[in-house]
């Protein structure tokens, strides 16, 4: 008698001994594979979206409609020398790669919500028994089931991270807008300085001509002519420096628009627009706490830390697994399977919870520190804005008109022999200094306003690719 197979009850030593069983086995195998395939198709399609995931995807759709419609780059404004500041800002925010990188980082975090809240993939299993031949073949299907509440907690943590990444995207866009404004106003400042120095150079040329004429008739010394030439030489060097700095600022302006060195230079702005910024003190500070994207990002990080605690607390909940295998050669015969993890390492669980709680403490303290910093930055920048505004008013309303009148009197007095050339040059220097201070104050006020509105208060410029306020709330 042949050697028996202990794995096959009833004395079957080979499925080849019963041809009908071979046919039945093949049929059963086909049914098993078909059933498993149908089960995978039915259960492996789409999970159930959580409310936070739905909100995140609505945000993506809202922003993409402006920033990346149909997945492609948005149409950029056609820039000309007559383009408005708003058109330059829109171009920069839609085109700069720093903003695009933050955008796709946010999109990646939104997709991670689906990954975090989804069930593990089912597993198709095979088990065989082989001694002298294949005596048993059992295909099956198994599924892991995370412990109750684990997927929800993981999905909430991923949603909080997605919210933080959205506000990082806002921060990148606002920083780009500020960089554009910074280059825009500094470029305008240099252009105005060049214009003022040219006008003063022409004035000095007239003064030198007057000194030469008076010297020829013995009413002035040759020293007056040299003093005028010295002033002209200094202005010539200053003009060269300003033209050089204009080239550097034009490169900075091009970079703020998100253009590379290989791309064509943008047209320079033909005129510099003043901003319509209204500093309203406490109301603006309240807006800063409500809108500042850095604060909103840190608030989301606090919620992410709270969700991380919830995930850590679920680590003491066991996970489960269930499956079913069918015997191909001896139908109908099924082997159910089930397993459960045993979270017995209490020190490990305690460490996970303690680490998550420490992470929340870090997030809360960073948020508090940032709130303090926003308050301080607002106070200092608001003071700077008010100080510049007062100085600008003094220059425009009092100092410049008086300096202009003083130069006119000094020039008449010099031609009449009543004052010396030194006093005339001093009057000219005073007027030049006040005119340069006036354009610098205007530029500094615009930059202070830009920092207050963009980086501190978080007020987006028109055309910014942000979600509406009603859907922007990070909660």
Instruction: Report pLDDT for 137.
Output: 79
Question: Residues with Cβ < 8 Å from 45, sequence gap 6 or more?
Answer: none
Residue 4 confidence class, pLDDT cut points 50, 70, 90 = very low
For range 280-304, the mean pLDDT: 88
Summarised one tens digit per residue, pLDDT across range 191-239 is 999 999 999 999 889 888 888 888 888 888 888 889 889 999 999 999 9
Instruction: Report pLDDT for 185.
Output: 96
Instruction: Report pLDDT for 237.
Output: 95
In angstroms, rounded to a whole number, what is the distance separating the alpha carbons of residues 106 and 112?
Answer: 10
For range 470-474, the mean pLDDT: 52
Tell me the sheet residues that pair with 139. 126
Q: What predicted TM-score, i.e. pTM, was given to this entire model?
A: 0.83
Summarised one tens digit per residue, pLDDT across range 142-176 is 889 999 999 999 999 999 999 999 999 999 999 99
Instruction: Report pLDDT for 124.
Output: 85
Instruction: Report pLDDT for 44.
Output: 53
> What mean pLDDT, rounded, does the chain reach?
86
Residue 40 confidence class, pLDDT cut points 50, 70, 90 = low
Look at residue 469 and tell me whether its pLDDT is greater than 80. no
Please answer whether residues 74 and 99 qualify as being in contact, where contact means their C-beta atoms are separated by less than 8 angstroms. no
Tell me the sheet residues that pair with 136. 129
More confident residue, 106 or 218: 106
Instruction: Report pLDDT for 15.
Output: 36
Look at residue 277 and tell me whether its pLDDT is greater than 50. yes
Tokens of 337: 């399977």
Instruction: Report pLDDT for 132.
Output: 76
State the CB neighbour count (10 A cutoff) for residue 342: 8
Residue 118's Cβ-side half-sphere holds a number of Cα atoms within 13 Å equal to 13
- Helix (H/G/I), strand (E/B), else coil: 126: strand
Summarised one tens digit per residue, pLDDT across range 257-269 is 999 999 999 999 9
DSSP for 199-259 reads HHHHHHHHHHHHHHHHHHTTSS-HHHHHHHHHHHHHHHHHHHHHHHHHHHHHHHHHHHTT-
Residue 395 confidence class, pLDDT cut points 50, 70, 90 = very high
Q: Looking only at Cα atoms, what is the longest distance across the chain?
A: 146
Please answer whether residues 366 and 302 qualify as being in contact, where contact means their C-beta atoms are separated by less than 8 angstroms. no
CATH superfamily of the 47-472 domain: Outer membrane efflux proteins (OEP) (1.20.1600.10)
Instruction: Report pLDDT for 129.
Output: 77
Instruction: Report pLDDT for 2.
Output: 42
Residue 39 confidence class, pLDDT cut points 50, 70, 90 = low
More confident residue, 306 or 470: 306
Tokens of 184: 């825009």
Lowest mean pLDDT among 122-131, 199-208, 291-300, 443-452: 122-131
How are beta strands 134-145 and 320-326 bridged, if at all? antiparallel
Residue 281 confidence class, pLDDT cut points 50, 70, 90 = low
For range 115-135, the mean pLDDT: 83
Residue 43 confidence class, pLDDT cut points 50, 70, 90 = low
Summarised one tens digit per residue, pLDDT across range 445-455 is 999 999 999 99
Please answer whether residues 89 and 180 qualify as being in contact, where contact means their C-beta atoms are separated by less than 8 angstroms. yes
């Amino acid at each position: 008698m042949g050697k028996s197979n202990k794995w096959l009850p009833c004395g079957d030593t080979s499925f080849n001994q019963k041809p009908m069983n071979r046919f039945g086995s093949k049929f059963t195998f086909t049914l098993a594979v078909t059933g498993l395939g149908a089960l995978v198709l039915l259960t492996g399609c789409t999970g159930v979206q959580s409310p936070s995931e739905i909100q995140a995807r609505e945000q993506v759709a809202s922003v993409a409609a402006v920033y990346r419609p149909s997945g492609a780059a948005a149409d950029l404004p056609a820039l000309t020398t007559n383009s408005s500041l708003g058109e330059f800002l829109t171009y920069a925010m839609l085109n700069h790669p720093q903003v695009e990188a933050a955008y796709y980082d946010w999109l990646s975090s939104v997709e991670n919500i689906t990954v975090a809240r989804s069930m593990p993939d089912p597993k198709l299993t095979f088990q065989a028994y082989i001694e002298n031949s294949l005596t048993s073949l059992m295909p099956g299907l198994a599924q892991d089931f995370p412990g109750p509440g684990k997927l929800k907690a993981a999905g909430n943590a991923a949603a909080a991270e997605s919210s933080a990444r959205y506000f990082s995207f806002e921060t990148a866009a606002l920083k780009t807008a500020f960089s554009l404004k910074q280059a825009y106003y500094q470029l305008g400042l240099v252009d105005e300085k060049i214009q003022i120095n040219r006008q003063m150079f022409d004035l000095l040329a007239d003064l030198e001509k007057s000194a030469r004429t008076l010297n020829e008739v013995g009413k002035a010394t040759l020293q007056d002519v040299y003093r005028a030439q010295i002033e002209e030489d200094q202005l010539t060097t200053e003009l060269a420096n300003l033209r050089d700095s204009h080239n550097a600022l034009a490169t900075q302006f091009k970079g703020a628009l998100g253009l590379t060195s290989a791309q064509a230079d943008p047209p320079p702005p033909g005129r510099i627009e003043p901003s319509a910024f209204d500093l309203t003190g406490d109301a603006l500070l309240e807006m800063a706490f409500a809108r500042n994207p850095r604060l909103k990002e840190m608030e989301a990080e606090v919620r992410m830390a709270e969700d991380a605690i919830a995930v850590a607390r679920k680590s003491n909940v066991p996970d489960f697994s269930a499956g079913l295998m069918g015997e191909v050669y001896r139908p109908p015969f099924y082997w159910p399977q089930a397993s459960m993890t045993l979270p017995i390492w209490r020190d490990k669980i305690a460490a996970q919870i303690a680490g998550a709680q420490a992470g929340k403490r870090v997030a809360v303290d960073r948020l508090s520190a940032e709130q303090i910093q926003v308050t301080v930055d607002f106070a200092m920048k608001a003071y700077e804005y008010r100080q510049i505004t007062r100085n600008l008013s003094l220059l425009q309303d009092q100092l410049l008109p008086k300096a202009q009148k003083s130069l006119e009197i000094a020039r008449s007095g010099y031609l009449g022999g009543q004052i010396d050339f030194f006093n005339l040059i001093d009057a000219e220097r005073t007027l030049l200094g006040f005119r340069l201070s006036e354009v610098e104050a205007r530029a500094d006020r615009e930059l202070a306003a830009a920092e207050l509105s963009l980086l501190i208060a978080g007020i987006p410029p028109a055309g910014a690719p942000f979600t509406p306020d009603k859907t922007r709330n990070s909660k």
